Chain A
Amino acid sequence: MTREGIDRRRFLTQPALVAGGLALCGALPVAVSAISGRDAGFASLAAFLTGRTDLEPGLVTRAGDALRKADPRFESECEALLGGIRQANITSVDELKESALGADARTMATATSIIAAFYLGRVGDGDRAELVSYELALMFRPTADVTVVPTYARAGPGYWEEDDERR
């Protein structure tokens, strides 16, 4: 997958992390296989931290790019986080939260910044904020059966009079 005009800097340069069979959530997410090895580490981390195996590759790339741009230390902090997870054999984000690693403020700051990028759909605040996604922001998913992503309709006029239109 190539993109012209985009500076594809080296990201996580340890293919061994991926090829060595580190399966952060059981198996590598299907979509991740479409991402080249350089970004597969971040993609795995994104899937692990959000608990989603269906993150769009383009979305993952945007989030990674924005996070790297916002913080020059992000790449190394990602490596540290990945390393820490592997070392402690943590197999889910819920387990991470309860673990000793989860008590480490710096580690959790990195994890949180990744989670926020996908849930809130942006990296940063104010003038420096960059959009990751609006329509696909994960904050809307838990209520997607009932409410809308504003400006995206879910049904026709007056649908809201009924409690839900699943019936």
Chain B
Amino acid sequence: MSEFDADVIIVGAGILGALAAYRLAAKGKSVMILEAGPRVSRWRVLEAFRNAPVKGFSNFYPEIPGVPKSSGGRYSDQYLENVGPMKWDPGYLRLVGGTTWHWSSAFWRLLPNDFKLKTLYGVGRDWPISYDELEPWYTLAEQITGCSGNAADDQSGHAGQSFPPRSAPYPLPPEQWSRYTKAVATGFDGLGYHFIDEPHLRATQTYGGRPACAGNNNCSPLCPIGAMFSGDMAVALAEEVGARVLPQTVAWKLELGPGRRIAGVHTMAHDGTKARRTARAYILAAHAIETPKLLLMSGVANSSDMVGRNLMTHPSLIYEALARDEMWPGRGPVQQGSVNDLRDGQHRRFHSAIRYSSNNRVPNPMIAERLIRQGIIGSELDKRIRHDSARYINFIAGTESLPDPTRRITLSNRRDGLGLPTPRIHMDMDDYARASGNRIASDFSRIDRAFAISEALGDRTAWRLPAHPMGSTIMGEDPAVSVVDRDCRTHDHSNLFITSTSVFPSAAVVNPTLTGAALALRTAELVSRET
């Protein structure tokens, strides 16, 4: 009988923790995943979604007094304390499978230049690793999950050869573009841009037991048929090779032992029952708010004073309008395609990169509510719902944050249902991202003309902060200003690792999950050799 409960304990059964567990267990390691939240069944969540009177992002997922989500319920809405200039809900769930229960599965690699912002453009920080070192892990992550994409695309947006370099093709063929996507592509192409495919984890043919996408148009916040890969599927993969998941187990304190190694993790069940678990190595994978929160509660891994700091996301502006002609959004998945032309280049010396991401959602709920508020009823209401819904255009302009130590998560004085401190968030956006606003506004106007819009909707100047938290346990070579090293090992504790988007030293303008997955697999490989 071992002196430890497992070779490796992982905190957090989301997609990244589960992928790390999968790699470790497949290598014969005993793995225990501690998950704060419960297991859920897809059909139950679907039923809750359909029965929710207001279809929010998170509100139909389980609401548990002791384990709040970041928002979406009577406990969860009191959970985060926002004290900064911009209020932010980082949009995460706490349950087996984690936050990717509700995502659109965009699965982008970073570009080689994204790893070298400081060297190339004089802003932000460099990663201590390169694209080339991460590339094999990108490929593996795409294969495990079943990624669909167009390998011929120049994803740097310069309409050149296939880029970034790949050691293998995408395992699944690209998705068919809907009429709407093709129309949006034509509009952007007419402006001199190059609308390309967005790689994602919707099965375009059956893969790994998943059915092909049938266009239920609800990827986020829930795929009803499980065609889109989500964290619960990564957990299933890990469990199939022997990883053990302990749900409803809140890790609240890491215990320091001899040699500044972690000696154990203290847990609480939902009824407050305490336990202590031990392993040779510990991996934190509780996403970018709960991971630094655990470190701060424990008082470990923070000789740099960087734990919780450098919070980043992708500040965004939203374009909404009614085109002159029918476009018909709402056929197929909720999101298809991307304009990457401004993703990299010398402009990053002066303002952030920009990426335009097309939204293909069924717009009827918003359109109908808008018309009814205007007092439109009767046959006119039906006509206008059809007319406006057919012409609705919606896309997002995303930018990149730079790491700034004043943007951070700390511990608030509030307590959750288990008596643990809740996160206090101080968030803002920097001038680097704001300075992209002029270019975005100009492009919005050009799109207005390209589609001969009859009406602009919404507020296209209001910056939004999406649910892509990064940077809060930042990676770097220098222990004085970073929390983890190039292998995602904490500088302070040789057996404590972090596999989360919280390690990113740069945000770039693409969704972070694939890079997080690649890092998780790579770190798991390293940990498997040490334990």
With an 8 A cutoff between CB atoms, is B306 at the interface?
no
Does B518 sit within 8 A of A, measured CB to CB? no
Q: Is the CB of B52 within 8 A of A51?
A: no
The interface residues of chain B lying within 8 Å CB-to-CB of A141 are 382
Asked if residues B54 and A125 are in contact (CB atoms below 8 Å), the reply is yes
Interchain CB contact under 8 A, A94 and B53: no
How many A-B residue pairs lie within 8 Å, measured between CB atoms? 141
Contact flag A115-B381 (CB < 8 Å), given A124-B53, A161-B178 = yes
Q: Which residues of B, 202-219, contact A by the 8 Å Cβ criterion?
A: 204-205, 211-218
Interface bits A127-165 vs B (CB < 8 Å: 1, else 0): 101110011000111110011111111111111110100
For window 364-401 of B, CB contacts with A under 8 Å fall at 364-365, 367-369, 372, 375, 377-383, 385-386, 389-390
If the complex has contacts A148-B217, A151-B224, are A142 and B53 also in contact, measured as CB distance less than 8 A?
A: no
When distances are taken between beta carbons in the complex, the residues of chain B under 8 Å from A147 are 217, 328-331, 362, 364, 389
Enumerate chain A residues within 8 angstroms of B215, measured Cβ to Cβ: 148, 153-155, 157-160
Q: Taking the complex as formed, is A33 at the interface, i.e. its CB lies under 8 A from any CB of chain B? A: no
- Tell me, in angstroms, the Cα distance from A4 to B364 when the chains sit together: 35
Sample of 8 further A-B pairs with CB below 8 A, known A97-B378, A160-B332: A112-B375, A112-B377, A139-B365, A151-B49, A151-B218, A157-B215, A158-B212, A160-B178
Q: Which of B158-206 contact A (CB under 8 A)?
A: 175-179, 204-205
A108 within 8 A of B: yes
Q: Which A-chain residue is minimally distant from B383 (CB atoms)?
A: A142
Q: Point out the residues of chain B lying under 8 angstroms from A124, CB to CB.
A: 53
Determine whether B442 belongs to the interface, using a CB cutoff of 8 Å to chain A. Answer: no
Bound-state Cα–Cα, A93 to B211, Å: 45
CB distance from A129 to the nearest CB of B (A): 4
Chain B residues close to A by CB (< 8 Å): 46, 49-55, 74, 175-179, 204-205, 211-218, 222, 224-225, 328-332, 361-362, 364-365, 367-369, 372, 375, 377-383, 385-386, 389-390
Known: A92-B378, A146-B328, A150-B218. A130 touches B212 (CB 8 A): no
Across the interface, name the chain A residue whose C-beta is closest to B77.
A127
Structural contact, B385 and A143, CB atoms closer than 8 A:
yes
- Choose one: A120, A126, A129, A153; the contact of B216 (CB below 8 Å): A153
B368 and A120 within 8 A (CB): yes
A67 touches B (CB below 8 Å): no
Q: Which of A51, A124, A150, A157 has the most CB of B within 10 A?
A: A150
Judging by beta carbons under 8 Å apart, are A152 and B375 in contact? no
A156-B214 in contact given A122-B54, A143-B330 (Cβ < 8 Å): yes
Is the Cβ of A94 less than 8 Å from the Cβ of B52? no
Tell me if A32 is interfacial: C-beta within 8 Å of chain B: no
Residues of A within 8 A of B383 (CB): 142
Give every chain A residue within 8 A of B332 (Cβ-Cβ). Answer: 159-160
Task: Find B364's partner among A135, A139, A152 (CB 8 Å cutoff).
Answer: A139
Which of A97, A135, A148, A157 contacts B377, CB < 8 Å? Answer: A97
Let me know if A119 is at the binding interface, CB within 8 A.
yes
A115 touches B218 (CB 8 A): no
Contacts A108-B375, A156-B214, A160-B176 hold; do A120 and B381 have CB atoms under 8 A apart?
A: no
Report the minimum CB–CB distance from B52 to chain A (whole Å): 7
| A130-B53 CB under 8 A given contacts A142-B385, A150-B218 | yes
B359 to chain A, nearest CB (A): 13
Q: Which residues of A contact B330 (CB under 8 A)?
A: 143, 146-148
Q: Are A160 and B364 in contact (CB under 8 A)?
A: no
Cα distance A124–B369 when bound, in Å? Answer: 12
Q: Closest chain A residue to B379 by CB distance?
A: A94
* Nearest CB of A to B102, in Å: 13
Q: Tell me the complex Cα distance, A12–B218, Å.
A: 40
Q: List 21 A-B contacts (CB under 8 A).
A: A51-B382, A94-B380, A96-B378, A116-B372, A129-B53, A134-B51, A139-B367, A142-B364, A142-B382, A143-B330, A146-B328, A146-B331, A147-B329, A147-B330, A150-B217, A151-B217, A155-B214, A158-B215, A160-B215, A161-B176, A161-B177
